[in-house]
Chains A and B, each alone.
Chain A
Amino acid sequence: MQVSVDRDRCCSSGLCALNAPEIFDQDEQDGRVMLRQTVFRPGQFADIRLAGELCPCGAITVTEGVSPADGTADAQAGTGS
């Protein structure tokens, strides 16, 4: 799983930091999203998906199955396909 955040879109609802505090944090100044991790355990996937779904301004993009943690797609990432 891969997660990217778009701070320009973020409206600081804090829902990601509330529902997935291990993964997301908020900037002290204006509350905008910050990623605390880039590699995720399968046990965190449900929280991450919920954070992506709840984000009111589409600032969180969750891409399934592309991180080393779930051990699937990354092996093929460098094949140029």
Chain B
Amino acid sequence: MTTTPPTPAATAVPLPAPHDNRCPFSPPPAYTEAARTSSVSRAELPDGSPCWLVTGYPEVRTVLSDRRFSADARHPAFPLFTPERRELFAENPSFIRLDDPEHARLRRMVTGDFLVKRVEAMRPGIQEIVDETLDRMTDGATEADLVGSFALPVPSLVICLLLGVPYEDREMFQSLSRTLLNTFAGVGEISRANDELLDYLGGLAAHKKEHPAEDILSRLAARDDLTLREIAATGILLLVAGHETTANMIGLSTVLLLDRPEQKAKLADPAALPGAVEELLRHTTIVHTGLPRVAVEDVELDGTLIRAGEGVFAMLSTANRDELMFGGEDRLPADDVDLDRDARRHLAFGFGVHQCLGQPLARAELQIALGTLFHRLPGLRLAVPHSELVFRPDSVVYGLKSLPVAW
């Protein structure tokens, strides 16, 4: 192997970089190549402004946990693919785009709903939803689009129940969520989608203030230290993050396992499910675009000086393929799926104070959904050639547009 000295100024990595259609499960090659040369590389946003690409495992952890990097999108130098969206964040920021103490105040109002113990108690209910969804999918049929009939309905039903959002409204909120997550949607389109969801959730919260039920929106609406706008912004975050992420993990994981029968066979042991899901989370890392931050003080990162006011993208996907962290003599390479790997140190849920608050729920949903799917449909197979699968590279949350399967 030859080593090339880093030439940071020469080639800035274009963000967001395209995927290689031949390797749809791998991070875009531009990120992987940058990671091979250096943990910190120069990059360029679509409008030509410079920022940093952080690809190494320890460095990604530092960016996401060190308070010298801010998640506040109202900062004029916060890196955005479409800078026109800054105004949107300024008007109604959800806590994912705020720093502490504002972030902690809002986040702690909902963290109690996702306690490990509370999610454990939800397992029978999630199992019931998974069973019923599979019943509907397989009733009189031998083929289906797994995304539309299983992967998307399961987490949508669960988050609707938790939040208190009527599932009948799913077409509306699923379509608006896709717009919000689309990297290339115009600012007008994004703004309309955001306003529509804010009005919808604000309206639901106002109704629940008068007619409370056993759900998160009702509980938030009963507080006197939150505005309806704040409740709606938190509602959007939980609703979007609650169904889009798990849905895409189910779809992608299914293809990965169908491609690897020897790995899929390991799911027959229920005790192997939790570890298997950690490995699928690591390998898949659906947030392929990385997590944006802005330095608010000068920081030296692996020998590179990042100055206050410079933007940074922390690339979870390359960090999670770090051979030193996840490889090993008796393991398949980190670029492959190995369900026997100890993948618990993965960063698929992020790191630092913004790490996914719904992760216990995501784990339970994935364990139950994938375990039940392969148990009930042992003959599950792709209904189209691999090359015809349609991915969604234009989304912040990577995934499949549809997944034709037969059984």
A residues contacting B by CB (< 8 A) are 11-15, 17-19, 21, 26-32, 50, 53-54, 56-58
Contact = CB atoms under 8 A, between A and B. Distances in A.
Nearest to A14: B116
Contacts, number: 68
A52 to B, nearest CB: 12
Given A17-B117, A18-B360, A54-B345, A30 B65 contact: no
A14 B360 contact: yes
Given A26-B115, A26-B117, A11 B104 contact: yes
A12 B111 contact: yes
A14 B352 contact: no
Given A12-B111, A12-B357, A54-B345, A26 B116 contact: yes
Given A13-B349, A14-B114, A56-B64, 7 more contacts: A11-B354, A11-B355, A12-B111, A17-B115, A18-B116, A57-B355, A58-B65
Contacts of A29: 112
B81 interface: no
A53 B65 CA distance: 13
B345 A28 contact: no
6 contacts: A13-B349, A14-B359, A21-B116, A26-B115, A30-B111, A31-B108
A11 B65 CA distance: 11
B200 interface: no
A7 to B, nearest CB: 11
Contacts of A32: 108, 111
Contacts of B391: none
Contacts of A58: 65
Interface string B69-98: 000000000000000000000000000000
B210 to A, nearest CB: 25
Most buried by A among B344, B353, B363: B353
A14 B115 contact: yes
Nearest to A57: B353
Contact of A53 (B64, B345, B353): B345
B275 to A, nearest CB: 12
Contacts of A57: 65, 352-353, 355
A28 B114 CA distance: 10
Contact of B353 (A11, A21, A54): A11
Contacts of A21: 116
A50 B344 CA distance: 9
B350 A56 contact: yes
B359 A13 contact: yes
A76 B363 CA distance: 44
Most buried by A among B109, B112, B354: B112
Contact of A30 (B108, B117, B344, B351): B108
A27 B117 CA distance: 10
B116 A28 contact: no
B117 A56 contact: no
Q: Which 8 A-B pairs have the closest CB atoms?
A: A12-B111, A31-B111, A56-B355, A14-B116, A11-B353, A30-B108, A17-B116, A56-B351
